[in-house]
Structure 1
Amino acid sequence: MKKYIYLFLGTFTFGLGTMGIVLPVLPTTVFYLLTGFFWCRSSPKLHAKLVSMPLYQKYATPFLEKRMTRAAKQRMFGMMGLVFLLSAVLVDHHLIRILLVIIYVSLVIGISWYLKKRPTAKPEK
């Protein structure tokens, strides 16, 4: 039963990640990483297909290998900021807005720390 739940969750997060390629408010990398987690536990064949996909290699592999370009890092933090700003504007509660700022700052610090000691990849031509 657990295998089928992981399979469903992996398929769901794969769909969200793929939609995130064209919709700027959905984080492609996060959903593809979750897909890898779920499919690794449910179907080795699907996991193998996922990690060999060009889209996975473009969005998730650089993050896992900590070799993102400076522009990719800036784009990632900018999109995260846009999503959090949009959420803060739509919510009419000051405590929630403060919480959103704390979460965003924590994410920026945590991800920056995670990527800090790796060299920045050279931009693709």
Structure 2
Amino acid sequence: MLKPLFLAVGLISLALGAVGIFLPVIPTTPFMLLAAYCFARSSDRLHRYLVNHRVFGEYISNYYNHAMTPRHKARTLVLLWFGIIVSCILIGATIPWIILPIIAALVSIHIIRLKPRPEAAPEPGDGSIDDARPTVKSSS
């Protein structure tokens, strides 16, 4: 009975998260995590797609494992603060210059405190870096 509702919320969250990539005032990660949660309860196919996605899958995996590589921590913190500063400039009011940096500081503390996940070793012979993202297999 709730599957269609979870599916709808998951699709809307996925769309909002995708828009958040390009608009700094819309957060991407919370919407992607919500989409993963909803898809896990409504659609194994969409959940596998999202968790194994070449861009979003690694971030969701990091959240599931409570770990991030140092490179992802640095990239996340830079993008977080860039987005906060751009948002404050675009909004222009005084209150966002107080509230948004406080939120960003708390998120930064959370990210810094995540356990480090080692960088993946290169595959022999191909010189590329495997992202070491676990794949999610269907339970059915």
Alignment of 1:1-125 (within 5 A): 2-18=2-18, 23=22, 25=24, 28-113=28-113, 115=114, 118-122=115-119, 125=129
Residue 134 of structure 2 is matched in structure 1 by none
More helix, by proportion = 1
Name the SS for the 2:68 alignment partner: coil
Q: Distance in 1 between matches of 2:33 and 2:14?
A: 9
Q: Distance in 2 between matches of 1:95 and 1:54?
A: 37
Q: Which amino acid aligns with 2:86?
A: L
Q: Which has the larger radius of gyration?
A: 2
Gaps of 5+ in 2: 122-128, 130-140
Quote the offset at 1:7 in angstroms: 1.1
Q: With structure 1 as the length reference, what TM-score do the two structures score?
A: 0.73
CA contact (8 A) 1:88 1:97 kept: yes
Quote the offset at 1:71 in angstroms: 1.7
Task: Render the CA deviation track for 1:72-103: whole Å, top value 9, x for unaligned.
Answer: 11110111111111111122321232011111
Q: For residues 87 and 53 of structure 1, do their structure 2 counterparts lie closer, same or farther at Cα, with a shift above 3 Å needed? A: closer
CA contact (8 A) 2:17 2:31 kept: yes
CA contact (8 A) 2:39 2:46 kept: yes
Name the SS for the 1:60 alignment partner: helix
Work out the number of aligned pairs and report it. 121
Quote the offset at 1:28 in angstroms: 4.6
CA contact (8 A) 1:67 1:121 kept: no
The more displaced of 26-35 and 65-74 is 26-35
CA RMSD of aligned residues (A): 2.7
Task: Render the CA deviation track for 1:17-71: whole Å, top value 9, x for unaligned.
Answer: 44556x3736554332211111122334432443344444333213322342212
Percent identity between matched residues is 30
Q: Which amino acid aligns with 1:85?
A: I
Quote the offset at 1:108 in angstroms: 0.9
